[in-house]
Amino acid sequence: YWEKYIDYIMDGEWVGNPPPPEPDPVDTGSGGTGGTTDPPPDPPPSDPPPPEPPIGLQIPIENGRLWAGLGLPRGPRSLGHVAGDTHSAMQLLLMQSPTQMEIGVPRRGSYDEIWVPWYMDGDRIEDFNNPNEYTFPGADDDLAKDWRNWIGYITYVQFMMDWGRDRSPDVSNSSNSDPDVGIKTPLSVLSQYCPRHAESVAGYTFNFPPREQPMHAVRRSLISALAVVADRNIGITPGAGDRVAIVTYDGLDAYHAPQLVVPLTSSFNSAMSSCVDLQATSDIGSTTATEAGLILARDHLKPTHMGGAGRHYSKKVIVLLTDGVPNAWSSSQGEIDSFITNNPGDNYYNSDYIWLNAALVQAAHAEMEGTNIYAVGMGLGTDYDFMDRMARTSNTDEGGLSVRGSGNP
């Protein structure tokens, strides 16, 4: 676990004696045209490739390691500064362990120039969408890089946030989402070391996990909204009032698939309690399956004879909390294009943006079923172009716009 943290912040270096540079191209002078010996560049493609959905870190790794050949040379810099204390530094001893050794060249094997450490993990502090250039196109790409080689509260908290509720840093990314595998960070509710604190919300008291943002603000907002629903149902005959359900969604694999956390119930306290432990997943891979979350919510609201738990006479409402950046979908391109062709509208993107259109198609299905979707943005990086399209598709917009929030907890 701690080795992973060191890998996360470590800045590698090239050391040793580099080989001599390649000689410059030689002009033979025999052509008489003054041309170059370099081949002409390839022509640009006639059409740009289709856009790719914004996803978390996905780097090719072997046995959980990113090999040194992917690194770029950097100039020398000091190692092991302790955040907040520039006078006492923790020295990180970096040493190569090659399989071959040459006489007279200790610890350098058969290489004139080597990358230290000899391998580096692919999960770096400057990765994990730090910063997310899709939602923050003007962000400084060096913000996270400037914290490499610093050990302390800032980099460790960022480390725990990046691994999220679900991932175990000490296990390969191919299997570390299993709740029973590896060591979760202390911020995760899945960790035995996760601290709790009592906090009051709308007159109720709950034992929350640490206040990581923006999720803690989301938890409090959900509980406050449910408290309003509970107040409005006081004195109503049981079974005749409102019911609520909680659906969570991350990705599409077994450990991230959407879940019905609380089925439709009139026990508002149970729904509020379920919000206490809601936490964000890590930023590894595609972890915003908005379409799949909406499918599960729609199916649960259907009448019982259609496999759902809804009542015929009730008004169906879905409150969608999201950053507006879906990046995982389950419907095929053909299914989505066919629906849009048969139900055209101005709110769809062009067909290349399947991950956005997939969620909008679900909003259109819900609207046809009489279900209102209210899209609520969370976080400072909310994509309000997508959120506004979602609101207009659901006929819940106000002047063409979705609900606006400060985004700042």
> What pLDDT score was predicted for residue 104?
39
> What pLDDT score was predicted for residue 24?
67
Q: Which two tokens stand for residue 371?
A: 């279900």
> What pLDDT score was predicted for residue 406?
76
Q: Which two tokens stand for residue 176?
A: 């570390």
User: Is there a contact between 245 and 264 (Cβ–Cβ < 8 Å)?
Assistant: yes
Query: Which CA distances in Å does 40 have to 24, 29, 118, 144, 151?
Result: 17, 18, 37, 38, 48
Backbone angles phi, psi at 114, to 5 degrees: -130, 160
Mean of all residue pLDDT scores within the chain: 82
pLDDT band at 319 (very low <50, low <70, confident <90, very high): very high
Rounded to an integer, the average pLDDT of 313-317 is 95
Beta bridge partners of 319: 374
User: Is there a contact between 253 and 177 (Cβ–Cβ < 8 Å)?
Assistant: yes
| Residue 67 CB contacts under 8 Å (≥ 6 apart), including other chains | 119
pLDDT band at 35 (very low <50, low <70, confident <90, very high): very low
User: Is there a contact between 210 and 160 (Cβ–Cβ < 8 Å)?
Assistant: no
Task: Give the burial class of 27: count Cβ atoms within 10 A of its Cβ; 0-12 exposed, 13-18 middle, 19 or more buried.
Answer: exposed
Percentage of the chain beyond pLDDT 70 is 74
Q: Which two tokens stand for residue 20?
A: 């001599």
Judge whether residue 346 has pLDDT over 70. yes
Rounded to an integer, the average pLDDT of 375-401 is 95
User: Is there a contact between 205 and 296 (Cβ–Cβ < 8 Å)?
Assistant: no
Beta bridge partners of 248: 259
**What pTM was computed for the model?**
0.79
Residue intervals in the chain for CATH 3.40.50.410:
197-394
User: Is there a contact between 287 and 356 (Cβ–Cβ < 8 Å)?
Assistant: no
Handedness of CA 34, 38, 39, 42 (dihedral sign): negative
Look up the CATH architecture of domain 197-394: 3-Layer(aba) Sandwich (3.40)
Q: What single DSSP character describes residue 70?
A: G
Q: Which residue has the higher pLDDT, 268 or 124?
A: 268
> What pLDDT score was predicted for residue 53?
74
Burial 80-119 (b: 16+ CB within 10 A, else e): bbeeeeeeeeeeeeeebeeeeeeeeeeebeebeebbbbbb
Burial 250-270 (b: 16+ CB within 10 A, else e): bbbeeebbbeeebebebebee
Percentage of the chain beyond pLDDT 90 is 63
Rounded to an integer, the average pLDDT of 169-187 is 95
Q: Which two tokens stand for residue 347?
A: 């709110």
Give the whole-angstrom CA distance, residue 358 versus residue 335.
Answer: 9
Rounded to an integer, the average pLDDT of 4-26 is 74
pLDDT band at 23 (very low <50, low <70, confident <90, very high): low
> What pLDDT score was predicted for residue 51?
66
> What pLDDT score was predicted for residue 80?
35
Give the whole-angstrom CA distance, residue 63 versus residue 122.
Answer: 11
Q: What single DSSP character describes residue 361?
A: H
Q: Which of 327, 250, 285 is nearest to 53 (CA)?
A: 327
pLDDT in tens, 58-114: 544 443 333 333 333 333 333 333 344 333 333 333 333 334 434 334 444 444 566
> What pLDDT score was predicted for residue 405?
80
pLDDT in tens, 191-244: 999 999 999 999 999 999 999 999 999 999 999 999 999 999 999 998 899 999
Parallel, antiparallel or unpaired: strands 244-248 and 316-322: unpaired
Rounded to an integer, the average pLDDT of 125-133 is 88
Judge whether residue 18 has pLDDT over 80. no
From the CB of residue 387, how many other CB atoms can be counted at a distance below 10 Å? Answer: 22
Average the pLDDT over each of 40-44, 121-125, 225-229, 382-386 and give the range with the smallest value.
40-44
Give the whole-angstrom CA distance, residue 164 versus residue 146.
Answer: 22
